[in-house]
A = this chain, B = another copy of it.
Amino acid sequence: MRDILISHGAPADKAGIVAYEMARNSLEGTYTHGINRFARLVKSVDAGTIVPSAEPELIAASGGMSRYDGHMGFGIVNAIFAMDRAMDLASGHGIGLVALARNNHWLRAATYGYRALEQGYAAICFTNTTNNMPAWGAVDSRLGNNPFVMAFPRKDGKHMIVDSAMSQFSYGALEVARLAGRQMSVAAGFDKDGRITTDPSAVLETRRPLSAGYWKGSAMSFMIDIFSACLSGGLPVADIAEQEDESALSQVFIAIDYRKIVGEDEADRIAERAIGYLKGSTKAEGTKEIVYPGERMLRTREENLREGIPVDERVWSEILSL
């Protein structure tokens, strides 16, 4: 993957970061934003949507905050840069915020949470997207699903992290279910008569996926867009929607060096207590185990490290042809 990116004009260092993180996304179970998406990424490079050699440019800075223009570089490379800068700022100010305008799709939101966790920082980060979800009460999609991450580290590496888009299901999940002939587990969107349905085909037809928590995910999505675009001086969903591709996104990265105000052991003890209590819940019928956010990934990674990363054969042969 690295070599393919280089052969399409990417500098070696940036190509290496993108290849590594996309492979890691698949390793850790986020197949939709891993190797499966590599061919599409290369097409974006060829189309000029991604500018492989672009470097983020500092636009404004004050105390623990900075604002950058991503100049349409690799989404992953710019976003890692931004989270690293947020950690630098946090190491000086306790908390650091970097707002990034005009970045490409960062693929997996959790990547930047884990980036901070591995350095012992807590993090909050989020991005806007193109218009892919209707507001509550609306028919046409004028909100993004705007993924949101909260991440808190543990000393033993069994980090806690939520990576949640504001739609109940992604289009990818709807398509997988349609192909498998399955209904979604809970309400997924609207059918052509405006009724809420669990049928993925009906939702794919209307393009009216449901916001998570109905009006709640709708309102959260809007505020994530406002924070992303207003803090970075970048594009809101409204303007991203007018472009041909989903690009020039706006993103925010907050790193928190909590060890400056709370002992690492003290935070760890509190986390253990919260996890133990959660996992001690009485399970509903059909529930095998109650997991804390981030726990399932640890198992997927272990399994894939042991048995190899599953890759669809068509995806793999497409990559070999690039």
- Could you tell me which A residues sit within 8 Å of B by CB distance? 59-67, 92-97, 99, 122, 124, 134-135, 137-140, 142-143, 150-152, 160-162, 164, 168, 186-187, 190, 194, 196, 212-214, 216-217, 219-220, 222-227, 229-233, 236-239, 241, 254, 256-258, 260-263, 266-267, 270-271, 273-274, 276-278, 280-287, 290, 292-293
Nearest neighbor of A97 in chain B, beta-carbon distance: B95
Task: Name, among A194, A231, A278, the residue most crowded by chain B CB atoms within 10 Å (CB to CB).
Answer: A278
**Which residues does chain B contribute within 8 Å of A194, judged by CB atoms?**
284-285
Q: What DSSP secondary structure best describes chain A's contact surface?
A: mixed
**Cβ of B95 and Cβ of A152 under 8 Å apart?**
no
Closest 6 CB pairs of A and B: A212-B213, A65-B94, A238-B277, A138-B281, A62-B260, A63-B94
**Cβ of B213 and Cβ of A135 under 8 Å apart?**
no
**Cβ of A236 and Cβ of B277 under 8 Å apart?**
yes
Q: Which residue of B63, B151, B230, B262 contacts A270 across the interface (Cβ within 8 Å)?
A: B230
Cα distance A213–B222 when bound, in Å?
A: 16
Q: Nearest-CB distance from A236 to chain B (Å)? A: 4
Cα distance A222–B137 when bound, in Å?
A: 29
Q: Nearest-CB distance from A270 to chain B (Å)? A: 5
**Cβ of B142 and Cβ of A277 under 8 Å apart?**
yes
**Cβ of A226 and Cβ of B271 under 8 Å apart?**
yes
**Cβ of A260 and Cβ of B95 under 8 Å apart?**
no
- A62-B257, A62-B261, A142-B280 known; 14 new pairs, CB 8 Å cut-off, are A59-B261, A61-B261, A62-B94, A64-B94, A65-B95, A67-B261, A95-B95, A137-B281, A140-B281, A142-B277, A162-B220, A194-B285, A212-B216, A226-B274
Q: Which residue of B66, B99, B223 contacts A160 across the interface (Cβ within 8 Å)?
A: B223
Nearest neighbor of A152 in chain B, beta-carbon distance: B226
**Which residues does chain B contribute within 8 Å of A260, judged by CB atoms?**
60, 62-63, 65
Q: Which residue of B137, B223, B254 contacts A293 across the interface (Cβ within 8 Å)?
A: B223
Q: Which residue of B213, B256, B286 contacts A217 across the interface (Cβ within 8 Å)?
A: B213
A-B contacts, 29 listed (Cβ < 8 Å): A59-B261, A64-B94, A65-B95, A65-B256, A65-B258, A65-B261, A124-B124, A134-B281, A137-B281, A137-B283, A138-B283, A142-B281, A151-B223, A152-B227, A160-B226, A162-B219, A168-B213, A168-B214, A168-B216, A186-B187, A212-B216, A225-B274, A229-B270, A231-B256, A233-B262, A233-B263, A237-B274, A237-B277, A238-B276
**Which residues does chain B contribute within 8 Å of A134, judged by CB atoms?**
281, 284
**Cβ of B92 and Cβ of A94 under 8 Å apart?**
no
**Cβ of A64 and Cβ of B219 under 8 Å apart?**
no
**Cβ of B63 and Cβ of A152 under 8 Å apart?**
no
Cα distance A266–B63 when bound, in Å?
A: 20
**Cβ of B266 and Cβ of A95 under 8 Å apart?**
no
Q: Nearest-CB distance from A230 to chain B (Å)? A: 4
**Which residues does chain B contribute within 8 Å of A222, judged by CB atoms?**
160, 162, 274, 278, 292-293
Nearest neighbor of A139 in chain B, beta-carbon distance: B282
**Cβ of B160 and Cβ of A186 under 8 Å apart?**
no
**Which residues does chain B contribute within 8 Å of A224, judged by CB atoms?**
150
